[in-house]
Structure formats: structure tokens, C-alpha cells
Amino acid sequence: MLLVKKQGYFSDIDTKTKFSGRIDEDFVKYQLANLKQLTFEVTDKCNLNCTYCAYGHLYGDYDQRKSSFLSFYDAKKIIDFLVPYFNSELNKSSSSTFYISFYGGEPLLGFNFIKQVVSYVSKLRINRTIKFSMTTNALLLEKYIDYLVEQDFNPN
């Protein structure tokens, strides 16, 4: 792993240099209205401890895990912020799928949060086809598989 790190993997991109002068307000609004995917980091907590994990000490922006969870209140604010963009004339993607994804840590440790988001979004009137997806280590999959199949979740 250390050899791979020496070759420049796990390091940060200098976004200031990379995107300088290429992004303005109209560009951001258009991107929001045509967003392809919204990913919620449900929690930084995990029931595994993989060496290569993006939260691991090998990365330059390593940040110790705090076992924190995203609240439905905060997720709802983001969704409510996006809905007017989806329903505006800037949206040119009404026929394409918009994915709401759940990521971690291990997202299934925050199953109630996932259920709240799915339930809330399913009741909204949005000018996009919405699908759900998840990145999971599968340790808790057996417990929740019926719900995930019922809601037509895609694996990531």
C-alpha cells in the first residue's frame, strides 16, 4: 500500500487550479437542474475496518471517524433545495434517471434514515425519474434485502 501511495494514489486534486475560471452561477444552476446523482453519506461508521478504505490513514485528507450519522432533517433540506431546479425550465433531463445513492461508512447502519428519505422522495412531484442505489459491504444485507428489493434499489 505504501508503494502505491508513493506513486501519487490517495492524494487530493488541486480543485482551485483545475476548475479556475470555468464555473459561474448559470453553470451551477444548470448542473443542479440536470443532476444525475445525489449521494448521501449516511454515516462515517462502519462494521468493517479495511486498510484501503477512503477513510483510512493512507489518504492525505485522513479524518478520524466520529461514528456520526446524517440527519433526515439535513437530507430533507438538500432535497427541498433541489426540487425547484428539477421542476424549472433549466431541467433538460426529465426523461433521464436521477439516482439518490446511499454511501458510508456502511449505509445500512443508518437504515431508518434511508427509509425516511425513500418515503419522503416517493411522495414528491419531481420532473425526473428517480431510482435509489447503495454502496454496501453487504454484512447487513440479509436483514434488509426485502425492503431494498421492494424499493427497486440498484447496487452501485
Residue ranges that bind ligand SF4, judged by CB under 6 A? 46, 48-50, 53, 55, 104-106, 137
Shortest distance in whole angstroms from residue 57 CB to ligand SF4: 12
Within 10-140, residue ranges assigned H as helices are 15-19, 25-33, 72-86, 111-122
| Amino acid identity for residue 47 in this structure | N
Shortest spacing between CB 76 and ligand SF4, in angstroms? 25
Give the residue with the Cβ less far from ligand SF4, 44 or 120: 44
**109 Cβ partners below 8 Å, 6+ apart?**
42, 43, 45, 46, 47, 69, 140
- Of 56 and 115, which CB lies nearer to ligand SF4 in the complex structure? 56
Nearer to ligand SF4 by Cβ, of 20 and 51: the residue is 51
Q: Which of 51, 155, 50 is nearest to 108 (CA)?
A: 155
Beta carbon nearer to ligand SF4, 7 or 49: 49
Residue 45 CB, nearest approach to ligand SF4 (Å): 9
Burial class (CB in 10 A: 0-12, 13-18, 19+), 134: buried
